[in-house]
Amino acid sequence: MAAHLARLLTMIVLLLALRLAGSALSSPVLVAAKMLVAAWLPFVTLRLAEEMVRRHAPRLVKLLALSGAGAFSLLAIIFQLVWAGPALIALALFQAAVVVAILTHLWAQRGSISLAERHAVDMLALAFALALPLLATDFAFAFPDLPFRGGSFAAIVFVLACSRLAGVASRPLGLLGDVLLVAGAGVLAALAAYFAGAPAALYPALAATGGAAAALVLLIERFADTPVRGEGILAPIARAAPDEAAILAAHPLLANAVTVTAEALSDLPADLLAALAAKPVVTAARDPMSETLTGAARELLARYGASHLLRLSPAPSPRFLAISGGALDEARLTRELTIVARLLERAP
């Protein structure tokens, strides 16, 4: 998921850079490059959505996103500046169709994920709802009289959403607060220009600069010293009582997890189940000693839509906790869950 998130952020930054370069220099190459990025953004977003719910989208949706990206890429490379009329309408319809398919897929799989991941899915849906009207203003043939184009602001909304996906604060209201803060900074910049007697033509540019600066401050604050400032799951557990029920209730990631009993795993061979139960935490990471054990772990994680299995009791009657990790720092989460497993071994 982190890799797909990084790709999406890279493409958004690239699109913003191309838009900025295109406003200063008119070039067929820049136009073609901008359309290439715009054509592939829906597919990259679809792949991120699949990772968020750990479920593949329907084959038809994947084919739509992939074939559309390929077709519009060829059109951008071959025809370059010929992006008026039917071609622009087709691009807008393609992007809208993929967005609707992504939202449908997220909604259909919403019940199969944990509460923490549900917040992230809802936040991505809110990002779409906020960004789509802004993105639509970029199509000048449909809105020729608008005084501004909102595609860059739509990109900022997605960047703010992605910054929250990269942490533990992936709540829709948090994103809404970010957007209101950025919009408020833009309004304040425009008001300052008004009271300072600046020309009216500068108001949109100053408002955009103020909003972008506020977004940059939010991103810097969010990612600065993240490993140091992030509390993780250990601090709440350290404050809990030393029994199993209190430890599991101390953090939402554990409280919302699903208990997997030995009876639910009765279809697995006894030796394979014992090998899995020998691990405090089971992940999808490859086991260099046994490909069979790797396959069994991944099948079991997929069965419960989990990213980790936390051992509650060892063999011969093992119990696990199927955890859907909302945090993207998988290595850190695995280390912390291993400590929790060791605590549970000694908990009454």
Residue type present at position 36 = L
- The residue ranking higher by pLDDT, 168 or 277, is 277
Share of the chain above pLDDT 90, in %: 9
Q: What are the start-end ranges of the H helices in 1-27?
A: 2-24
Report residue 116 as tokens: 């923490």
Query: Looking at the predicted structure, is the pLDDT value of residue 229 above 60?
Result: no
> Quick one: angle between helices 151-165 and 115-136, nearest 10?
170
b/e per residue, 320-331, with b = 16+ CB within 10 A?
A: bbbbbbbbbbbe
- Each residue's pLDDT tens digit, 44-71: 999 988 888 878 889 999 999 999 999 8
What's the gap between Cα 141 and its chain centre? 31
Is the pLDDT at 328 greater than 50? The verdict is: no
Give percent of the chain above pLDDT 70. 88
pLDDT digits (tens, 9 = 90+) for 254-312: 877 888 888 888 888 888 888 888 888 988 888 777 888 888 888 888 888 788 899 98
pTM of the model: 0.63
Pair of tokens at residue 84: 């008026």
Q: What DSSP line would sit under 193-231, residue for residue?
A: HHHTT--GGGHHHHHHHHHHHHHHHHHHHHHTTHHHH--
Question: Which residue is associated with the tokens 């295109």?
Answer: 22
Please state, rounded to an integer, the average pLDDT across all residues of the chain: 81
Please give the Cα distance from 316 to 222 (Å, whole number): 45
pLDDT for position 227? 46
Report residue 346's pLDDT band, with 50, 70 and 90 as the boundaries: confident
Average pLDDT of 146-153?
73
Instruction: List, in order, residues 6 or more apart from 178 with CB less than 8 Å away.
Output: 160, 164, 215, 218
**Per-residue pLDDT, 170:** 66
Phi and psi, residue 313, nearest 5°: -150, 145
* Residue range 99-117, pLDDT digits in tens: 899 989 988 888 777 666 6
